[in-house]
Chains A and B, each alone.
Chain A
Amino acid sequence: MLKHLGFFIEIVKGSIITIRHFVVNMFYHILNLFGIKTKRRGAVTRQYPEAPIQLASRHRSLHRLLQRDDGKPRCVVCMLCATVCPSECIYIEAAEESDPEIQKVPSTFIIDLSRCCFCGFCVEACPEDAIRMDTGEVELARYGRGDLVYNLEKLLG
């Protein structure tokens, strides 16, 4: 019976913590309700779709293929990205290029985003700086799996 009384003090202490949170947060909520701007907010929640979050500059988002000055992809089909990709979601087919400095260009470049794990290894591996993950696009939910297979046009666009 005495043991329970010992718990009782701790129980009351616990409730004081939650009551303090409630009262403090409610105070700021009410101030904000009446349009008074405060430095602190009542909640740490961000209202995401309405108030998008500023992504960090190094955040890995949807891939894009970079272009040369004449609009062709910078990719030279060295296959490093496809090799390093742990999800094996990159598929490349090469075509011949008349310029002897380049020799190869991709005729197909497919990234299956439904498999991609956004590790960024392809970006690290690329010797030509042809692929980057800096579009800032993170809302990648689609209704069909086929919509997540990005081809060359989509990645260049």
Chain B
Amino acid sequence: MIDTLILLAKIVAALVWFLVLTLYLTWLERKESAVMQDRIGANRADFFGYRVIGLFQPFADAIKMMFKEDFTPSFSRRFLHNAAPFMAFFFTAVTIQAIPFGDVLRIGGKEIKLQVLDIDVGILFILAMLSFTVYGVLLSGWASNNRWTLLGGLRGAAQLVSYEVALGLSLIGLVMVFPSLRFSAIVDFQGDLLFGWLPKWGILLQPLGALIFLIASMAESERVPFDLPEGESEIVGFYTEYGGLKWGMYMFTDFMKVLIIACLLTTLFFGGYHVPWLAADGFHFPWGGQLLLPHGIVILLQVLAFNVKVIFFCWLQILVRWTYPRFRYDQLMDFGWKFLIPLSLLNIVVTAIIMSVLK
């Protein structure tokens, strides 16, 4: 009974964390782009006269979206048109359940893993679920029954499929180094030290893999340098025929993808919840110092470190989105098939050679 309750609480907590942070990513995006462009950004939404640097803006946006007309064009395929945003939303939202937020929390004789779904195939699960989001893109493009949305949907499908390959291949090198697909095991491996002083993070063992993963995953999230499916300036994209909350769900899915990519980057390449030199009983510095901490503080620091890293990678992705212009469609395909995939294959070969030499 109590285990079920704990599990439920974990699911709810992970989802709430995910959705609230996603909501505030819209705020971060507006503010960060503003600061980059010497502007101030959204700061007008107030709550009983309090503005607090625009922190209520996401709620104002959400309320506005809820009260807009839920419009379904008469020429659309009604059922699929309504189902598509939910598919995109659902398959992105479930991915958070496989991400570890922290180590095992021991409280009152119970051992609680700060991760909802600790499955053997964690990486495959997330990749599969992210691939499923292509249904949302493709179905919305097709069910809207509009030429431009169909073009957008097809572009989205082609892009997702081609970058999915590079994404998967870039992780193979990592799986070779950390011989597991289980997230908690991968993060545990990264808690060790390299040469006795360097944290054994994935980025240090797989620098090329990390770079390819970053690029390919940003292409997966379909934001600006890779926003061909949407293509605001030419075809408006696969969600042209959506309005109100259903459009909002696509928007939300976009930001959820940013967040889940930040989570994946953190977990796979940047030590997950690990703070450098922080072991289960406190800090053990390589120069000999020691700072012992109680269990609760250690877990708190780990969760905090995870959050800081995730927010940093969200910041990085938003920076990229507001810095670069769009790819042309043929450049995008060239870049995926002729550059990223050979490079990730090279990464696998080099990793294999180095591993066999060092063995």
Contact = CB atoms under 8 A, between A and B. Distances in A.
B324 A11 contact: yes
- Of B32, B37, B335, B339, chain A has the most CB atoms within 10 Å of the CB of B37
Interface stretch (A41-49, A59-67, A97-105, A129-137): A41-49
Given A1-B338, A14-B323, A21 B36 contact: yes
Given A14-B324, A15-B319, A15-B320, A22 B36 contact: yes
A21 B324 contact: no
Interface in B18-67: 32, 34-40
A74 interface: no
Interface string A1-38: 10010000001001101110110011001000000000
A15 to B, nearest CB: 5
Given A18-B323, A25-B35, A29-B35, A43 B338 contact: no
A147 to B, nearest CB: 26
A22 B39 contact: no
Nearest to A18: B323
Interface residues of B, number: 17
DSSP class of B's interface residues: helix, strand, loop or mixed? helix
B319 A45 contact: no
A15 B323 contact: yes
Given A43-B40, A44-B39, A18 B34 contact: no
A22 B338 contact: no
- Of B36, B319, B324, B338, chain A has the most CB atoms within 10 Å of the CB of B36
B322 interface: yes
A29 B40 CA distance: 9
A43 B35 contact: yes
Interface residues of A, number: 18
Contact of A45 (B36, B39, B323): B39
A104 to B, nearest CB: 51
B121 to A, nearest CB: 33
DSSP class of A's interface residues: helix, strand, loop or mixed? helix
B34 A43 contact: yes
B180 to A, nearest CB: 32
A18 B322 contact: yes
Interface string B172-186: 000000000000000
A26 B36 CA distance: 9
Nearest to A14: B323
A23 to B, nearest CB: 9
Nearest to B342: A1
Nearest to A16: B323
B37 A21 contact: yes
Contacts of B320: 15
Interface of B: 32, 34-40, 319-320, 322-324, 335, 338-339, 342
8 contacts: A14-B323, A15-B323, A42-B35, A42-B40, A43-B34, A43-B38, A45-B39, A45-B40
